[in-house]
Chains A and B, each alone.
Chain A
Amino acid sequence: MTLTANPLRAGPRLSRIPEPSTLVIFGGSGDLSARKLMPALYNLALQRLLPPTFLVVGTARAQLADALFRDELHKAVSEFSRTKPINEEVWRSFADHVHYVSTGTSGGYGVLGDTLNRLEGELGMPGNRLFYLATPPSAYGPIVHGIGAHGLARTNGWSRVVVEKPFGNDLASAVDLSEKLHEVFREDQVFRIDHYLGKETVQNILVLRFANAIFEPLWTRQYVDHVQITVAETLGVEERAGYYDHAGASRDVVQNHLLQLMALVAMEPPIAFDANAVRDEKVKVLRAIRPIATDDVPNTTVRGQYAPGFIEGMAVRGYREEDDVAPNSTTETYVAMRLFIDNWRWEGTPFYLRTGKRMPKRSTEIAIQFRSAPHQVFSRESAAGLEPNTLVLRIQPDEGISLKFGAKVPVQGIRIRSVNMDFVYGASFMVDAPDAYETLILDALRGDATLFTRRDEVEQQWRLVDPIIDAWRAGQIDLPTYASGSWGPTEADLLIARDGRTWRQP
C-alpha cells in the first residue's frame, strides 16, 4: 500500500521525522557508540526528532544484560552529551527501548534476528533497520556476512548500513570492502560517514556557491589565480597512534576530508540538492583531477613528520617519541601537494592542499585567491599595500567568510590598503550547532544520502592518493621533519614558492 504524504506535516516549522525504525549498533559497547552515537541519539530524543516508535539494539561480543547496558550508556551519555545535565525522564523513556544482544556465540546472529522480530512485532513496526558498523574495519566482513546469512536485512521495511571511515587503506581494500557490503546491501543502502560533511559550515559551501548569483561567475580559471585548502590541527596523535602510525596524514585526512573539500569547492552546480545529483558532480570533478605521476611526486608533494617543539607555550614531544609509535617510524604527519583539475572551468589553476598535526593553530579553511586587477591604474607607490582579492571560507573555528579588497586610506592623496570584510557565521546566526553525528544519523534514518560518500567517490579518491603513497614508500623521497608549532617543513614553502606564490597564514 502506498501512503500519501502526512497532511499535518506541512508549513515552515515542522521538521521531517524519520519513519519508525530500529538502529542496530555493532560494536554497541565500544568507544564510538559511547562517545558519539548514544549522545547523538539522546540529543535527538531531546529535540523530539526521533519517530514515535524507535528501537536501539546494541550488539557486541561481550555478554551483557539490557539493564547493565543501559547503565553503561547512561554513564557515557552523562559524560559526553553536548547538553548537560541529563534529563532523566527523557533518558528513561528513551532507554526503555534500548536493548542488547550478544553476538559472541555461534548462535548470536540468530538470537539477534529473533530479538529484532519480537521487539518490532510488539510495537507493530514494519522492520525498518539501520545497521551501524561501529567496529574496527576488520570486523566489517564477518558482520555483513552474519547479517546476510541470517536474513536480518530482509524485512517488510527498508534496511541500510552505515560504515565509518577508513573505507579501506588503498584502492584494492576499498573495492574489497564495497564488494563485501554489496553481498547483502545495494549501493543505495550503503551510507559511508565522513563526519566532515555533517558540519554546518561544510554544507554552507554549497549554499554560498549555489544560492548566490554573484560568486559563481567568478569561480573559474579566468578570475581565480589559485586555491589553497588547509586542514591544520594542533593535536598530535594522542591515543590514536596505533591506527595513525599505519595510516599517516595522507590516509587519515587527504584521501577523505581534503579531497572532499576540494570537490565541494570545485564541482559544477548540481541539478538539485539531492543525493545522486550532488554526488554525481563530486565524482565528475574528482575524476578530472590530474593524477600525480610517480616521477612528479617529488616536485608536487611534500610530506613531513613533526619534531619536538612548542604548542601554545607548552613543550611537546616529537612524533617518534610518542607512545605506540615506532622510534624509526616513517609515517607522515604533514602533507602538502599541488593538484590541477583538467576540465573547462579549472584548466591551469593550481589547488594547493595541506594538512598537518602539531601546527601552530587549529584551522580549516579554503582560500580562493583571485587574479590581480588587469591594469594598474594607481601608481606603484600608492598601491604598495594592495594584495590580491581573496575570498576565504573558514570551516573551523570561527566559521565564516571573509573577502579581502583594496580600499583608500583616509587621508589626502591616494594610498591603498587591503581590508577584510568579515562575515562571521556564528555572529549572524548564533545557535548551538548540532553535532555532526546528529545530522548524519538523522539523515541516514530518513534515507537522505547527500552528505555520505558514494563508492565511486571513495575509489576515485584512493586512485589519486595511492600512487603518491607508493612513491613515498619506494623510498626515493625525503621525509623532512618540522618543529611542532611551525607551519610544516621548509620544503612545503619551496613547493609553492616555485610557482611564485606563498602559503597563507590561516
Chain B
Amino acid sequence: MVVDNVIWGAPASGVSALERELARLRRARSAHASEQGHTVARASVLNLVVFATREVHAKRAARTIADLSQRHPSRAIVVWVDRPGSTATDRLAMHCDLPRADGREQVSCEQILVRAPGDAGARLASAVIPLLLPDLPVFLWWTDTPPFDAPHFDAMLELADRFIIDSADFARPELSLKRVREVCARGSGRYGVTDFNWTRLTPWRDLVSAFFDVPAWRPYLDSITGVRVGFTVDADGREVHPSQALLLVGWLASRLGWLAAQSLAPSEAGGMLFSMTRGDGTRIPVRVRPRFERGLEEGDLSGLRIQATRDGKLAEFVVKRAAGNAHVTTSVIIDGSLVTERVMPLSAPRVGDLLGEELTIVASDHVYEDALAALVALS
C-alpha cells in the first residue's frame, strides 16, 4: 500500500534526514506564524508511540493526537506495520509532518510515520529508539489486540513507561485479558498498563464512590447484598463480551475485599450470573445483563444497581444512563422510598477524551491492576 504524502508528510531517508526535515518544517511554521503576528511554541511533554496494523487505525490515531496537541504536546511516532505475511510493502520507510490541530497552532505537534513490512519484527524497536525525545515519558498505544507472543511486542514494551490498550476492540477478551494481566505483572516497577475500557469507567466509579462519601450511607458498603450491571448490545443481539461491566465488578471486588465464589457462567436470560463472597462470608449474587440501548457503543455500561441491607433497612443505589441522551440519573432508595435523585452530564467519550485522560497519568494505576486481577480471578 502506498503511503499518502498528503497525510503523512514527505518521506525521509533516515533518522538524521528526518530530524532535518522536522527542523525545516518548524522554521517554516514559525516564519509563517510571525507574519500573522503570533508565535508557535515548540513544547513537548511526552513521546507517544502508536502501533497499528491497519491504515484506518493509524490515521485515526494520528488525527486524535493532532487534536490533543494543544493539551498534550507530544512527539507522536505512528508505527504502521502490516500483518505478518502481507506483501503490501517490502521496506521500512519514514515520513514526518507538523499536523495542525483544528485551526489553532500555538504549539506544534511532531508526527512521524514509520511504515514497516509485516516481517520487520525485531528491527522495529531499533527504528523507533532514535526517534524518541530524550528525558520524556514514552506512552505506547496499541490499537489492536497485542501479539503477546511476538518478539517485537516485548521489544516495544521495553521502551514504554505506560502501555495503553482498548479491550473493547479485543476479539476474544476473555482470553486476552488474562495475557494483559500477565503483562501487568511483568511490568511492575517498569511500566504501567491501562485500558480505555477502564478509562470509560472513571465517571461511573466517581458516581458510585460519591454515594458512599455520604457518612450516613458509608456503612452500607460493608453490607452489600447484590449487584446488577447493565451493558449495551446492538439490536440484533449479537454476542458481546461484557468486559467493561466485569471490570467494574472487579473494581468493587478488589476495593471491598470480595472473592470469587464461583466462576463466570452465562445466564439463560443472556449475560452472566455468578456470585462472590464478602469478607464475612455472605454471598453476593452478581448479575451482568445485556440491554439494547440506542446511542451507546456496544459493551458500554447502561446502568448499575447496588443493593445493601443494614439494621433491617434495604438501601438501593442506582445509576441509570438515560437512553439516547448524554445524562445519567443517580438515585438512592431506602425501604422503597426515593431519598434523593440527581441528573448529571455523562456523554459517550470520544477516543480523544480517553487518550487525553490517560496521558495525564504517568505512574501506574494500581487500582486498575487490582481490578483486572479480580476480573481474571473470576474467569
Task: Select the residue from A6, A9, A13, A53 with max chain B CB neighbours within 10 A.
Answer: A13
Give chain A nearest CB distance to B306 CB in angstroms. 11
Report B325-359 residues with CB < 8 Å from chain A CB. Answer: 325, 327, 330, 332, 339-345, 357
CB of B367 within 8 A of CB of A89, answer no
**Nearest-CB residue, chain A, relative to B208:** A8
Q: Mark A17-53, 1 if CB is under 8 A from B, else 0.
A: 1011000000000000000000000000110100111
CB of B340 within 8 A of CB of A19, answer no
Is B148 interfacial (CB-CB < 8 Å)? no
CB of B206 within 8 A of CB of A11, answer no
Is A271 interfacial (CB-CB < 8 Å)? no
**Nearest-CB residue, chain B, relative to A1:** B215
Is B363 interfacial (CB-CB < 8 Å)? yes
Q: How distant is the Cα of A426 from the Cα of B107 in the complex, in angstroms?
A: 10
Give chain B nearest CB distance to A379 CB in angstroms. 32
CB of A422 within 8 A of CB of B41, answer yes
CB of B218 within 8 A of CB of A3, answer yes
Chain A residues within an 8 Å CB radius of B345? 46, 48, 87, 89-90
CB of B330 within 8 A of CB of A427, answer no
Is B73 interfacial (CB-CB < 8 Å)? yes
Q: Beyond A20-B214, A52-B342, is A430–B327 a contact (Cβ under 8 Å)?
A: no
Is A124 interfacial (CB-CB < 8 Å)? yes
Chain A residues within an 8 Å CB radius of B202? 13-14
8 Å CB contact of B343 from A9, A92, A426, A428: A92
CB of B206 within 8 A of CB of A10, answer no
Task: Select the residue from B202, B206, B332, B365 with max chain A CB neighbours within 10 A.
Answer: B206
Give chain B nearest CB distance to A423 CB in angstroms. 8
Give chain B nearest CB distance to A273 CB in angstroms. 18
8 Å CB contact of B209 from A9, A45, A426: A9
Is B237 interfacial (CB-CB < 8 Å)? no
Chain A residues within an 8 Å CB radius of B330? 52
Report B195-240 residues with CB < 8 Å from chain A CB. Answer: 202-203, 205-216, 218, 221
CB of B43 within 8 A of CB of A427, answer yes
Q: Beyond A9-B209, A12-B361, A90-B344, is A124–B367 a contact (Cβ under 8 Å)?
A: no
Q: Beyond A52-B330, A87-B345, is A11–B366 a contact (Cβ under 8 Å)?
A: yes
Give chain A nearest CB distance to B128 CB in angstroms. 24
CB of A8 within 8 A of CB of B43, answer no
CB of B41 within 8 A of CB of A427, answer yes
Give chain A nearest CB distance to B338 CB in angstroms. 11
8 Å CB contact of A6 from B41, B106, B212, B339: B212
Chain A residues within an 8 Å CB radius of B209? 6, 8-9, 14, 17
Chain A residues within an 8 Å CB radius of B216? 124, 126
Q: How distant is the Cα of A427 from the Cα of B340 in the complex, in angstroms?
A: 42
Q: How distant is the Cα of A427 from the Cα of B330 in the complex, in angstroms?
A: 37
Total CB contacts across the A-B interface at under 8 A: 116
Q: What is the interface of chain A mostly: helix, strand, loop, or mixed?
A: loop
Give chain A nearest CB distance to B93 CB in angstroms. 31
Q: Mark B20-46, 1 if CB is under 8 A from A, else 0.
A: 000000000000000000000101010
Q: How distant is the Cα of A427 from the Cα of B207 in the complex, in angstroms?
A: 32
Is B255 interfacial (CB-CB < 8 Å)? yes
Is B171 interfacial (CB-CB < 8 Å)? no
Give chain B nearest CB distance to A392 CB in angstroms. 16
Is A123 interfacial (CB-CB < 8 Å)? yes
Count chain A residues whose beta carbon lies closer than 8 angstroms to a beta carbon of B. Answer: 37
Is A7 interfacial (CB-CB < 8 Å)? yes
CB of A51 within 8 A of CB of B45, answer no
Q: How distant is the Cα of A53 from the Cα of B255 in the complex, in angstroms?
A: 24
Chain A residues within an 8 Å CB radius of B367? 10-13
Is B309 interfacial (CB-CB < 8 Å)? no
Chain A residues within an 8 Å CB radius of B340? 52-53, 123
Chain A residues within an 8 Å CB radius of B73? 427-428
Give chain B nearest CB distance to A124 CB in angstroms. 5
Is A431 interfacial (CB-CB < 8 Å)? yes
Give chain A nearest CB distance to B215 CB in angstroms. 5
Q: Beyond A7-B256, A90-B327, A430-B71, is A52–B43 a contact (Cβ under 8 Å)?
A: no
Chain B residues within an 8 Å CB radius of A424? 41, 43, 106
CB of A8 within 8 A of CB of B343, answer no
Chain A residues within an 8 Å CB radius of B327? 89-90
CB of B215 within 8 A of CB of A19, answer yes
Give chain B nearest CB distance to A398 CB in angstroms. 10
Is A376 interfacial (CB-CB < 8 Å)? no
Q: How distant is the Cα of A325 from the Cα of B325 in the complex, in angstroms?
A: 53
Q: How distant is the Cα of A7 from the Cα of B218 in the complex, in angstroms?
A: 10
CB of A52 within 8 A of CB of B255, answer no
Q: Beyond A52-B342, A89-B343, is A9–B213 a contact (Cβ under 8 Å)?
A: yes
Is B70 interfacial (CB-CB < 8 Å)? yes
Q: How distant is the Cα of A444 from the Cα of B325 in the complex, in angstroms?
A: 33
Is A412 interfacial (CB-CB < 8 Å)? no
Is A344 interfacial (CB-CB < 8 Å)? no
Q: Beyond A7-B221, A89-B343, A90-B344, is A53–B214 a contact (Cβ under 8 Å)?
A: yes
8 Å CB contact of B214 from A12, A51, A89, A423: A51
Q: How distant is the Cα of A8 from the Cα of B256 in the complex, in angstroms?
A: 8
CB of B344 within 8 A of CB of A11, answer no
CB of B215 within 8 A of CB of A52, answer no
Q: Mark A81-113, 1 if CB is under 8 A from B, else 0.
A: 000000101101100000000000000000000
Task: Select the residue from B71, B363, B366 with max chain A CB neighbours within 10 A.
Answer: B71
CB of B107 within 8 A of CB of A430, answer yes
Q: How distant is the Cα of A279 from the Cα of B221 in the complex, in angstroms?
A: 37
Chain B residues within an 8 Å CB radius of A12? 361, 363, 365, 367
8 Å CB contact of B213 from A46, A52, A89: A52
Q: How distant is the Cα of A505 from the Cα of B344 in the complex, in angstroms?
A: 47
Chain B residues within an 8 Å CB radius of A422? 41
Q: How distant is the Cα of A45 from the Cα of B363 in the complex, in angstroms?
A: 29
**Chain B residues within CB distance 8 Å of chain A:** 41, 43, 45, 70-71, 73, 106-107, 202-203, 205-216, 218, 221, 252, 255-256, 325, 327, 330, 332, 339-345, 357, 361, 363, 365-368
Q: Could you give 8 example pairs across A and B, Cβ below 8 Å?
A: A12-B361, A12-B365, A14-B206, A15-B206, A48-B207, A90-B327, A124-B216, A431-B71
**Chain A residues within CB distance 8 Å of chain B:** 3, 6-15, 17, 19-20, 45-46, 48, 51-53, 87, 89-90, 92-93, 123-124, 126, 422-424, 426-431
Q: A7-B256, A430-B71 are in contact. List 12 more A-B contacts (CB 8 A).
A: A3-B215, A6-B212, A7-B221, A11-B366, A13-B361, A52-B210, A52-B214, A52-B330, A53-B340, A90-B327, A93-B342, A429-B71
10 pairs of A and B residues whose beta carbons are closest in the complex: A11-B367, A93-B343, A430-B70, A8-B209, A427-B41, A9-B209, A427-B107, A430-B71, A427-B43, A7-B255
